[in-house]
């Protein structure tokens, strides 16, 4: 039931925001498609960033740079950094990452709206 509510919210959110913004401007279908494109693009980018952060893709990268900084530092700095867990990490932050389902479903639905608005723009 919760999954259906999440899907319904994401299915209605982008068109409703587009419709509200369209009511304040010119009432042409092409204008609505343009607004739908902008809203879907913004939400797709935001949700993609959330997926990247939740998957922990950047954690191994930051782990590697912190280890590199520790190894490239001189002996005096290295002694000071020995006690610091941040600059001398022994492992990546987490072993397993959980991506929330609402982020994935929102991303997929807004990606569909994004592609649909491009198709509509070329067929009008």
Pairwise CA distance, residues 124 & 118, whole Å: 10
Whether 21 and 82 share a structural domain: no
**Overall domain count for the chain:** 2
User: In the structure encoding, which two tokens stand for residue 26, read together?
Assistant: 């010119």
Query: Domain residues for 2?
Result: 1-55+100-124
Per the prediction, the chain carries an average pLDDT of: 84
67 and 40: one domain? no
Name the percent of the chain lying above pLDDT 90. Answer: 47
28 and 51 share a domain?
A: yes
Same domain membership, residue 21 and residue 69: no
Same structural domain, 33 and 10 = yes
On whether both 25 and 84 belong to a single domain, the answer is no
Question: Does residue 52 contact residue 58 with C-beta atoms inside 8 Å?
Answer: yes
Tokens representing residue 73 in the block: 């530092």
Same domain, 27 and 88: no
Regarding whether 113 and 88 lie in a shared domain, the answer is no
The answer on pLDDT for 3 being more than 80 is yes
Which pLDDT score, from 0 to 100, does residue 88 have? 63
> Within this chain, do residues 28 and 11 fall inside the same structural domain, yes or no?
yes
Do 4 and 50 reside in the same domain of the chain?
A: yes
* Two structure tokens written together for 40: 């879907």
Based on the domain organization, do 30 and 86 belong to the same domain? no
- Three-state DSSP string of 82-95: CCCCCCCCCCCCCC
62-111 confidence digits (pLDDT tens): 777 777 777 777 777 777 766 766 666 666 666 677 778 899 999 999 99
> pLDDT tier at 35 (50, 70, 90 boundaries)?
very high
Same domain for 120 and 82, yes or no, is no
- Please state, in angstroms and rounded to a whole number, the distance separating the CA atoms of residues 97 and 54: 7
């Amino acid at each position: 039931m919760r999954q259906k509510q999440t899907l319904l919210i994401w299915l209605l959110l982008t068109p409703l925001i587009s419709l509200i913004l369209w009511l304040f401007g010119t009432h042409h279908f092409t204008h609505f498609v343009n607004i739908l494109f902008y809203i879907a693009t913004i939400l797709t980018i935001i949700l993609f960033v959330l997926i990247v952060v939740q998957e922990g893709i950047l954690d191994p990268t930051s782990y590697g740079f912190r280890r590199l900084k520790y190894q490239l530092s001189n002996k005096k700095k290295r002694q000071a950094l020995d006690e610091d867990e941040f600059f001398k990490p022994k492992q990546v932050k987490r072993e397993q990452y959980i991506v929330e389902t609402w982020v994935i479903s929102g991303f997929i639905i807004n990606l569909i709206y994004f592609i649909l608005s491009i198709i509509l723009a070329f067929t009008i």
